[in-house]
């Protein structure tokens, strides 16, 4: 009989554990009382207690297969206790109009979760439709509690510390320079295309027009001197075309280096924490490790768009320079042909 008592008591403990985790026990106070009596009893369980254990199993199985509205004690954000109609989804979850609720079996109250999943279950969800799409926490609340611990984007950036903010600052500065230079180069390219359609009337509002004006106003006695003058004009234009591009390249190189600096700094903080408090609790070391990883990510995230912007601006500047050089060479060839015809 002692072995039977041990088996019954262990079964009652299993049911009690399920009652503490499951919302299916809401309203089954008699079952909870019977299970507590069996566990606390010092003698062989009675016939009524054995029937009570069997009924508890049956009620758990029956409730876990049903979904419907029930009334539960609810504590809102202001701390007020009230009765509220909620939707119970088997033994997994309960939900009100705003989403999932956390059920405290020991206090017999429901409280709202801090953060709700995107496809949250609400009391207005139509369970009669074919397979409603909801996010269901199979762990009965453990994952929903972890949602509140997931940092937001601003919190992630804050974890990067001063180094992370500097990296973001470099990214913003680089992107602003890139946008400004892209606008300038596109404007120059448009003016050059316009100048190519009217080469007989050069203007000084674009690099090609200025090079053509140098050729038009030049009084060099030889072709070699003219070629040098045009080359000088092209080089002057090239300097203005490439303005700011080297700065973007520098920022793209600095970003991952600062990320590495943040990694080293974060690991130093982690080792200092281990020295002071030991390594028994990983949460104590989480701050330094978060800084190390976040700054590395920020450095790479900042470098990639800056490199793309640098490549785009370099290609755009190179294309404009090639057009100006090509037209400059054509002007030299045209002058050489005219002088050759004049001497012939």
| pLDDT level of residue 113 (50, 70, 90 thresholds) | confident
Q: With pLDDT > 90 as the criterion, what percentage of the chain qualifies?
A: 17
- Looking at the predicted structure, is the pLDDT value of residue 37 above 80? no
Rounded to an integer, the average pLDDT of 72-91 is: 76
Question: Over 80: is that where the pLDDT of 126 sits?
Answer: no
Percent of the chain whose predicted confidence (pLDDT) is above 70? 80
The pLDDT of residue 11: 75
Alpha-carbon torsion, ordered 17, 89, 51, 105, to 10 deg: 40
* CB distance 136 to 89 below 8 Å: yes
- Mean residue pLDDT across the chain: 78
Task: Supply the pTM of this predicted model.
Answer: 0.64
Task: Identify which has the larger pLDDT, 259 or 145.
Answer: 259
- Looking at the DSSP bridge assignments, the partners of residue 84 are 72
What does the H/E/C string look like for the chain?
CHHHHHHHHHHHHHHHHHHHHCHHHCCCHHHHHHHHHHHHCCCCCCHHHHHHHHHHHHHHHHHHCCEEEEEEEEECCCCCEEEEEEEEECCCEEEECCEEEEEECCCCEEEECCCCCCCCCCCCCCCCCCCCCCCCCCCCCHHHHHHCCCCCHHHHHHHCHHHHHHHHHHHHHHHHHHHHHHHHHHHHHHHHHHHHCCCCCCCCCCHHHHHHHHHHHCCCCCHHHHHHHHHHHHHHHHHHHCCCHHHHHHHHHHHHHHHHHHHHHHHHHHHHHHHHHCCCCHHHHHHHHHHHHHHHHHHHHHHHHHHHHHHHHHHHHHHHHHHHHHHHHHHHHHHHHHHHHHHC
Q: What's the rounded Cα separation, in Å, for the pair 19 and 11?
A: 12
Model confidence pLDDT, tens digit, residues 191-214: 888 888 887 788 888 888 887 787
pLDDT per position as a tens digit, 213-231: 877 776 666 777 777 777 7
* CB contact set of 249 (below 8 Å; sequence gap of 6+): 306, 310
Q: Is the pLDDT of residue 24 over 90?
A: no
Residues 316 and 185: beta-carbon distance below 8 Å: yes
**pLDDT tens digits, one per residue of 266-318:** 888 878 877 777 665 666 666 678 888 889 999 999 999 999 999 999 999 98
């Amino acid at each position: 009989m002692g072995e039977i008592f041990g088996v019954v008591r262990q079964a009652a403990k299993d049911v009690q554990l399920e009652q503490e985790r499951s919302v299916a026990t809401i309203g089954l106070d008699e079952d909870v009382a019977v299970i507590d009596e069996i566990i606390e009893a010092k003698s062989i369980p009675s016939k009524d207690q054995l029937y009570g254990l069997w009924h508890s199993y049956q009620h758990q199985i029956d409730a876990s297969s049903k979904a419907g509205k029930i009334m539960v004690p609810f504590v809102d954000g202001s701390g007020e206790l009230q009765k509220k109609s909620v939707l119970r989804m088997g033994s997994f979850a309960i939900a009100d109009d705003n989403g999932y609720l956390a059920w405290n079996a020991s206090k017999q109250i429901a409280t709202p979760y801090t953060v709700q999943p995107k496809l949250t279950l609400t009391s207005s969800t139509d369970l009669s439709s074919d397979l409603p799409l909801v996010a269901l926490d199979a762990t009965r609340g453990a994952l929903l509690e972890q949602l509140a611990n997931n940092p937001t984007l601003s919190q992630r950036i804050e974890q990067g510390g001063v180094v992370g903010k500097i990296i973001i600052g470099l990214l913003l500065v680089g992107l602003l320079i890139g946008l400004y230079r892209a606008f300038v180069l596109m404007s120059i390219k448009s003016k050059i295309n316009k100048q190519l359609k009217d080469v007989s009337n050069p203007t000084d509002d674009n690099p090609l027009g200025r090079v053509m004006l140098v050729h038009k106003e030049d009084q060099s006695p030889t072709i070699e001197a003219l070629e040098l003058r045009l080359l000088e004009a092209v080089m002057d234009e090239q300097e203005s075309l490439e303005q700011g591009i080297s700065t973007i390249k520098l920022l793209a190189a600095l970003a991952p280096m600062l990320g590495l600096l943040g990694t080293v700094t974060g690991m130093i903080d982690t080792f200092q924490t281990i020295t002071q408090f030991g390594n028994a609790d990983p949460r104590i070391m989480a701050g330094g490790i978060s800084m190390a990883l976040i700054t590395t990510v920020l450095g790479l995230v900042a470098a990639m768009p800056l490199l793309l912007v640098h490549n785009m601006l370099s290609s755009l500047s190179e294309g404009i320079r090639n057009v100006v050089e090509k037209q400059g060479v054509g002007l030299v060839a045209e002058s050489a042909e005219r002088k050759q015809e004049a001497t012939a």
